[in-house]
Amino acid sequence: MTTGDRLGGAMRVLHLLKTSVGATWAWRQVRELCGHGVEVHVALPDGPLVQRYEEVGAHVHVADVGFALRRPSQAVAAAATIRKLVGEVRPDLVHSHFVNTTMAMRAGLGRNHPTPRCFQVPGPLHLENPVTRLGELGLAGPGDHWIGSCRWTCERYRRSGIEPRRIHESVYGVDLDAFAPKAPPGQLRAELGIGRTTAIVGMVAYLYAPKWFLGQRRGLKGHEDLIDALALVRGAGVDAVGVFVGGPWDHADAYERQVRAYAAAKLGAGARFLGTRADVPDLLQDMDVVVHPSHSENIGGAAESLLLGRPTIASNVGGLPDLVHDGETGWLVPPRNPARLAEAIRDALARPDEAAARARRGRELSRRVMDVRRSAAEIVEIYRRILADTRA
């Protein structure tokens, strides 16, 4: 059966994932695409998510289709695996979700393979560095399309010379029902012994160790910046405690210990680290303000805090401004600027009524933008546009 034959019925799409442990945002999308009648094939390594993909109706191919940059031999193997899979599955479209799976896909299929392919960009980090950006773009051919999951990403590709018809926009959606606390307010304060008169400034993010080859000196999520900002806030006489939720990412245990030591030196008992938690909605509802001080980010955790109606401060980077509109739905500050971050924290705590009003507007916006049912319908339409463009 050819692509043209299936356009009126089920499209066959091969999704490429480098992990079967994380990236549940891709799993949610696949679940909804199966519900739309798309014949979804998923290639990913063996792991706990394999069964979950099968349960929602996807055809799973256990395979390593990603690679580590420090191991080029893996890239050769991944490229060969993808080429073989495409020959066996014969998809109408190949949909990649990571930079390394995208580069392996393009290397394996070549620039002029007749099967169209799209790269849904989960985050803008590789686009911010000219070397990694050119490396990704250099392998692209005429059948490549891009789905930016924030406006900044789409604009960056346009500035790089990609034709607008090959750039699409759609977020990785979430299940709105998941953002409902299961416990009444007060759990976090009771757990940590924090009274009502003390403000809780929260941050929910994994700890990403700095990558020296990208010129990073501090962690990607900005933990050190928030620690510095809290030192300024507390130094100005504000009774506030910083609560950090999230453990180390990708074996960054040494970096986590470094951040904890830095916080102890700067804040003493004014910083609490909870590690990875499964009850984030319950914890968020006790936070007076939630901060996302990332140096590079997609929409990120800003959706979580806003969907729960919590006052939100974010760096003015990547996709964060898509939801956090300064003065309307939250506060935006320059990245890597603890002084400006401290000003925003003090303002949010000093004006609780204004903070609550911005949070309400942010919740309304987030519920419109982040619903996975809406974003999956967008993806189906993007598929149709790509296939029509390929036929033309």
pLDDT tens for 323-344 read 999 999 999 999 999 999 999 9
| Mean pLDDT of all residues in 36-63 | 97
Give the total number of structural domains in the chain: 2
Q: Tell me, yes or no, whether 192 and 337 share the same domain.
A: yes
Mean pLDDT for the stretch of residues 85-109: 97
Q: Position 97: which residue type?
A: H
Ramachandran angles phi, psi of 291, nearest 5° = -115, 135
On whether both 79 and 196 belong to a single domain, the answer is no
Verify that 167 and 190 share a domain, yes or no. no
pLDDT band at 9 (very low <50, low <70, confident <90, very high): low
Write the CATH number for 25: 3.40.50.2000
Query: CA-to-CA distance for 225 and 334, rounded, in angstroms?
Result: 11
For the ranges 1-15, 23-37, 226-240, 280-294, which has the lowest average pLDDT?
A: 1-15
% of residues, the chain, pLDDT over 70: 97
Average pLDDT, stretch 141-161?
Answer: 97
Does residue 204 share a domain with residue 310?
A: yes
Angle at 26 between CA 178 and CA 378, to 5 degrees: 90
- The predicted-structure confidence for 364-385, as pLDDT tens digits, reads as follows 999 999 999 999 999 999 999 9
**Do both 48 and 80 map to the same domain?**
yes
Answer yes or no: do 129 and 234 share one domain.
Answer: no
Given the DSSP bridges, would you call strands 289-292 and 39-44 parallel, antiparallel or unpaired? unpaired
Indicate whether 217 and 320 sit together in one domain. yes
What is the pLDDT of the chain when averaged over all its residues? 94
Rounded Cα gap, residues 385 and 216, in angstroms: 38
Task: Choose among 300, 299, 291: nearest CA to 331.
Answer: 291
Answer yes or no: are the C-beta atoms of 228 and 338 closer than 8 Å.
Answer: yes
- State whether 148 and 190 are in the same domain: no
Q: Which domain holds residue 121?
A: 3-173+371-391
Same domain, 252 and 237: yes
Given a cut of 90, is residue 230 above it in pLDDT? yes
Could you tell me which residues come within 8 angstroms of residue 211 by beta carbon, excluding any fewer than 6 positions away?
220
Tell me, yes or no, whether 291 and 191 share the same domain: yes
